[in-house]
Amino acid sequence: MVSQFSGVLQLTDLDDFITPSQECVKPVKVEKKQGRSVAKIQIEDDGSYFQVKQDGGKQKLEKAKITLNDCLACSGCITSAESVLITQQSHEEIYRVLRSNKVVYVSEQKVVVVSVSPQSRASLAARYGLSSSDAGRRLTAFFKGLGVHHVFDTSFSRTFSLLESQREFVERFHRKEQDKQALPMLASACPGWICYAEKTHGEFILPYISSTRSPQQMMGSLVKGFFAGQQGLNPQQIYHVTVMPCYDKKLEASRPDFYLEEADTREVDCVITSGEVLKMLEEEKVLLSDVEPAPLDTMFSSVCGDELLGHAGSGSGGYLHHVFTHAARQLFGEEVKELTYKTLKNKDFQEVTLERDGVVVLRFATTYGFRNIQNLVQKLKRGKSPYHFVEVMACPSGCLNGGGQVKPLPEQNNKELLQQVEDLYKEERPLVPEEDQHVAELYQSWLQSVGEERARELLHTQYHAVDKATNGLLVKW
């Protein structure tokens, strides 16, 4: 079985890649029936289990089920979550909700919202020979044709993530003398990196990680919070799907921190990957290039006319670019128009610096992939890290190369496809976060109205060290 999760989730221990059926150590509560009975267990040729009673009667036994939350809270393996996710978060679940909407009473129907990431849009655009914006318009038409009500763009919610990251960095920089764990600030948008940090380095590393929500979970706040209120809906009446470039985003959506207790619903109900959207298109026997484009939903999308807007910087969200230029301006009065990246050990480890009078006053880095993340953490532990901010991503080459992206055709190689996806991603006109009037209005109308403490909950999150349990079942002999 080949894992589709990022490398850092597979390599936390030497033999970490397992599935629940192999050696999951999570105890499962067994419902015992009253009364004494003697029975045998019979295994059929197809692997199914039957209980054979004394009278010869047979009863098929259910599989023990471990939820995704069980996996995330357990200190055993990490990647066992993969097979659990198949039923909880897949395109089949979306079809189930859409089918249900056609047969239930109107009052019981779900308002289905799909939020598409720009990395996924670029990946699908590359497969069908489209521009990224054109792919966005055609995806809008495709999803609405299936019964989806709204299709949004997570570049919009990423503007919130970038603005909050900028503010958080400046605040941390000001208190770096009093708080030795204020810097370096480590980007938090990658759930593979977060899961690895919580389970492997725990209390040591977590204070360095930015509390700002990822674009996916910012959109979760917007859809189940502001949008639900605007539409006069209970958050539970909305079924929110995101389309993402990696499988690790399924883990993120399932974190208890993003569960609305009062409404009894998740902020993001289902995450599917770019590849799963391709599978949906194939199952519907539709070529995206043949779909008639539809107007973009503008409520939660960054658009100019009929074109979608992006952000400057890397294909992983541009966190380094935006935090660096903001910090240079706010802290040192320097307007940085263009960043110069210096490649260090490899292309996934690059550095950007700001100098004043020959002295480096800001030193930022991008660190992609497990090997570079390990080196970063070891330097931090030795007190040798020179950085003020690091854009950390689990996947080599970042989010555009996520494990959930559309795979190359037989005649393509990975490198060529990645370059094509990157070119399509970067062709979108970049929007300066501070100049997004729609976002500025939401800060005023939505976030100020809920109070400072609640606004922080909506835009930020927290992390939890997972202690290694001493469990005899974990011992290998």
Instruction: Give residue-wise pLDDT tens across range 258-290.
Output: 999 888 899 999 999 999 999 999 999 999 999
Cβ neighbour number for residue 426 with a 10 Å cutoff: 16
Structure confidence by residue, pLDDT tens digits, 328-362:
999 999 999 889 999 988 889 999 999 988 899 99
Q: Give the helix/strand (H/E) hosting 219.
A: helix 215-221
Looking at residue 67, its pLDDT comes to 54
Burial bucket for residue 185 (CB in 10 Å: 0-12, 13-18, 19+): buried
Q: What is the per-residue pLDDT across 299-318, written as a single tens digit (0 to 9) for each? A: 777 777 777 888 888 889 89
Residue 342 backbone dihedrals phi, psi, to 5 degrees:
-110, 120
The tens digit of pLDDT for each residue in 117-141 reads 999 999 999 999 999 999 999 999 9
Q: Where in the chain is the domain with CATH 3.40.50.1780?
A: 89-158+214-311
User: Which conformational region is residue 460 in: left (phi greater than 0), alpha (psi within -120 to 50 degrees), or beta?
Assistant: beta
- Dihedral Cα 170, 172, 173, 176, nearest 10 deg: 170
Query: Cβ(427)–Cβ(118) under 8 Å?
Result: no
Please name the residue that has the structure tokens 């973009």: 296
CATH architecture of 89-158+214-311: 3-Layer(aba) Sandwich (3.40)
* Nearest C-alpha neighbor of 460 from the set 244, 167, 243: 167
Evaluate whether the domain defined by 159-212+312-406 bears CATH number 3.40.50.300: no
The closest of 309, 307, 319, 227 to 267, measured between CA atoms, is 227
Domain with CATH 3.40.950.10 in the chain: 159-212+312-406
